[in-house]
Structure 1
């Protein structure tokens, strides 16, 4: 492309206008100087409004270098201005795009809390439109419990121009009425004429804050469980070191938490109890174990206990174990008492069976709901059967009643079932070997 175009303009001809239209159609912006005679000056002046930059009289060619330098300088500054304007426009679009599509919201606030600029993400976070937020005072949106924090932040920001003050967590009311947790970063740019305010960058930390509060509540809940559990609880390292003991464990071992942590695993379990090593091996293999072991109190006395232990990964990524401990002394005592009672019952039952065998008295019982029968050993002997091969039932019992006594057996039992009288009658039974035996039955119904 030429630096300058010289056009020989002749009065009365329109070739210059055609050339200018041609350049316009091509989109070419070129400096143009007309070479004219005196008669063409008026036309040259008019053509300057259509894109001609200057004109030179043909009889004054010495002006051409001066005019050319002037026009080239003019075009240089014009192109440079266009380039800078384009660059600024591109930067404006870039930064505007960054602000509008940022996850953070940006406000320009006056010290009194009034907004002079609000970025589009505010609507996504709080639900207000940009126009609505600009009409609101920012302080009115802050949760009253957080007002002092943001006010102190503003005061500190006013004392530190150009320096960002970050990490201020506050709750801001959204359009729905719900509060959102935002982390504010304040920068004092009151001395910047184009901004003249405090730039507040807000990041939505609601999800993180709620998770933090949930974790805190969870920690408090488990801490409460740890402190108030009726069972002993220990937090340990897999090598036997004890990190924490709850009050129930301290009472169980008659030691303080510090003492339990100091003596470690083998200060609270009987080292001669082989079940301890077995339980540790099982926990290493499975990550979990439940076992009974012998524990030691501070005074050296031993007591039976149950331990439930599992391995978990701590927040720092290290293996830890939780142990729930129960003192089985009462359970063992109750089991011994129960066994003693059962033993006495077994002895009495044996004596009763011996007495029944000597007196040839048998006892049988019918469950009216399930219709099942229970016979003592002596009843089996009276009927000439054994409990291994014969299962008593109503049908099998009736089949052993002598045919001539069937009606009597049924009527007597029916009367007893109706509560009319106790069972007290004699009848014959047929034994497996075909012989007949007389028996006397006595019985009552009880509920």
Structure 2
């Protein structure tokens, strides 16, 4: 907030503008006044005769105070502007309309100025009648009587909000051209006492109009004549430096390189050597040209305001409070009423005689009685103009007191004839509004509790859908058509009226004769007798059926959101199921492999075990699809040529899709970053679904790839709620002309385990959706029953070049190891399987069923354990918690983490915990041995490199 205090006058030689922001947080309005340079001698003469500036039509208000600083008069515009009640702003009540943050500074500045009897003006935020705070300038002039005694202040308030907004818009328009200038630091300099520059920064060079500091140093040899517009200011600067050794905010005009003039503010100090010899001057320079320009604008604004007050279209007057003889009347009186000013001033009964006869007694008595009570007042009455016109006046009167008695009346008579005409028009409009309410179907009613009679307006019959003849005019008849479920609420409302005399808003339903249910809202007021008994209830009723329908639509939308949350919950469930299945499949696959290795090759059990192994692998594929749907699938990210991948998959699926399907390919180059295996699964599911949609009939399957720009609606899908950024996206589209889908089927196609195929598992599209979301993509489906289906997948483009797939690495040799391995797994079958696999490979083992038990065993055998095989999800203490504790005991021991979730998810959870490696369930014995041996050193404690 800025407090500008002008003392003693903005146009006087000793004027001083003080901005609290420039003086630090300790600055106060009292300090601002203390810093005033001089006292303005002719303040009294300026205020003398200023009463003709007082006018109610000022931009905000004019005001007066007494010698104690208490407000004795506020013009009508103050109350119209602030919405305060009449006379509420007097004394110190005007402060209540000021913004809470500005009140204390405003009062302190005013009090300090009042003590010094000096002119001031300040800015603050003033609350308007509608609650908006507006910036205003408040200017006050001290008043003195003929003997020089201080009488108080006269002042004015100007709304400068729009001026400030205009200035802000102007600054915004110019910001891009002035950005460098505004962001520059202050100018810094060092000069000799004679004025030659020793050093300066680029900011100061720019202030002076030069490109570089070197140009300034080279150009100036006599700054008094070359830089200062007024050389005397340079001499004054030197005198101050010699006297005080420093200057603060020394302002002067400079001549820039291009000949233009600018204003700067300089703060400097003299630097002396150890011997006391003056070495140089150094300091800062601030360009204050804009501030000076703003001050000039402010002075011009004040002048315009003074002229505006002089030209106000109101009668400003002063009168003796004892004789009611006019002492001053502004010239607007001649124009408004047509009588010469001499009549007003010389005829003691002029005012009374020219008041309209019907208003005379009231107006005179009201004014006299209010004055005798020492109360400021305002009132309205009619006067007869010289040409016979009737003129309505609003007279606002304030009193000047002395010794507790009124001595002077001041007032402003505002011509409100036009306002009265408008008020009449307003009354007519109110009548029109009542008619409009009838058109808007707002019904009104009255219930007389003394007679139990109920009266309805015509609109009430329309709302209830009945004719006047169908209503018997009783309370029972009024509530007869109320919905049975709402009758208790109506009865409670009636009881509250009788008990407390209150009627709260109520909503209820009614049946129309045609069976239609309408929702109604009503409220009213209760009229009470002298003894407090309720005797009459008056209210209105509105039909809110359409609003209720809109609320129902909103609830439906919330249900859709809940549906989305349900799908997310299914994803979590699918991930959990997949994790548990992987535990089981690890045991099935592992024991099948172990059993085959222990049987002769010609054993009849070997083919059966291989079938078990195949079935388990198919089950593992299902768990991978469930993990993909849940977003927990394993992703190996690489740059992929999407068109090449689709072309490859089309070739592989040739024997799978319908022989009657005709494939049409339009494969344009497109690269993405993703997991090739997962993307292949998406393409395979889309193409096989398209083939199935043909139902064995001839048809066409179109497959397209390419790149397109996507943004906005094209990146929003009912199936993918994620917000995706606009950009280039690779696309793959699979379109068929098969049976299509209805809306119900379309809404569920991505639900896990939902399928329309007799032999389907309902995981293909669910997994595809999870894969697409995992790749930060979106999927769209367009389908109509018997009109075909089009799936469109958009994936973020990659600007990298796809690399050819690396050659397959040779399978690792079977390894023999030895050493003690701690197996921590809560699933008994998995503990047994891993123990047998490790022991067959030469390891010794010990196991534990949870993390807590595993940690105890590790403590007992810490020096003997060569490695730890650790499950993630276990009771009592899970793998993550155990690993943290284990690293405190044995930071070097290798730990291989195993889980049914993907390595990406587990790695993110175990990041920074010291896990040595990860293996995903289900796994084969050879894979487990290879992973474990890779973590152990090739030494006596770990692995022998002999092939077996």
Q: TM-score normalised to the size of structure 1? A: 0.32
Larger helix fraction of residues: 1
- Larger C-alpha radius of gyration, 1 or 2? 1
Q: TM-score normalised to the size of structure 2? A: 0.17
